[in-house]
Structure formats: C-alpha cells, structure tokens
A = this chain, B = another copy of it.
Amino acid sequence: MNDNEVIVYKLRQIKNMLSGYLVRVLPQYGITPIMMYTIEFLRRNAEAKAVDVANEFGLTRGAVTQLLDKLEEQGLVIRKPHPTSRRSLQIHITNKGNELVDAILNAYNQEIDKLIKPYSSDDLALLRQLLDKLPL
C-alpha cells in the first residue's frame, strides 16, 4: 500500500474507533448520539432554531420536535420563545445539559488521548502542523 492508501485506511480506523467508543459509552449517560450532537450544536450556535437542528443533522422538523421533547424531559434544554419571531423557538441549554455534555466530552477526549499517548512532544507538534492543513 502506498502512503495515500495507508493514510486513508488509518483515518477510517480512527473513525471506527471513535464511533464505537461513543456508541458503547453514551447509554451510560442516558442519551443517544443525536441528543449529544444536538446539545453540542446548540452550544456552538446559541441562536439556532429547531429547523436549524433539522438541517444540520438531516432530520425532519417532526423528528426534531420529538428530539427536543426528550431533551426537555431530561432537563437538558428548555424551549423558549424566540426573541424576534413568534413562529420560531430559541433553545436554551440548562446547566444540567452543559454539565452532562462536559462530562461526556471529558471521557471521550481521554479516550482519544489514549490514541496519541505513543507520541513524543515533537511528534505531537508535527502531527498538529499536519492536521492543521486538513480542509475541515
């Protein structure tokens, strides 16, 4: 295999490892991947409406209604009136929601840290430089 093929293969392995970890661990926190991703998305986009969540994840608006129902039942988010449009929602993340996602991300990042444990600090700096070039 040439460099290119090996790199593609390794990136897939990284993806499978990370996906697998999330799927195994999230049930312990009582939420699903889409619930986790939604809260993360709302953190990065505080002004996002329900329809934005639908577009971000390729869900229907109906699915988002029910997703928000569950998140709200668990006290992770609160639906609020939108400040400028009465047909839209503004979705507020509760302290509980933020703390839950922080805890999950913390555990998740520790898992990823295990991956890069073999690297020296020189390697890490080099890897960072290389990853910074990715068009993400």
Contact = CB atoms under 8 A, between A and B. Distances in A.
Copies of this protein, total: 2
Contacts of A128: 3, 6-7, 10
Interface in A95-136: 108-109, 112-119, 121, 123-128, 130-136
A116 B115 CA distance: 20
Contacts of A119: 130, 133
Contact of A8 (B113, B118, B123, B134): B113
**Interface footprint category on A:** 35 or more
A32 interface: no
Interface in A71-91: none
B115 A126 contact: no
Interface of A: 3-8, 10-15, 17-19, 23-24, 58, 108-109, 112-119, 121, 123-128, 130-136
Given A3-B128, A10-B131, A11-B18, 16 more contacts: A6-B131, A7-B116, A8-B109, A10-B128, A10-B134, A10-B136, A11-B112, A12-B108, A14-B14, A14-B136, A24-B58, A115-B134, A115-B135, A117-B135, A119-B130, A119-B133
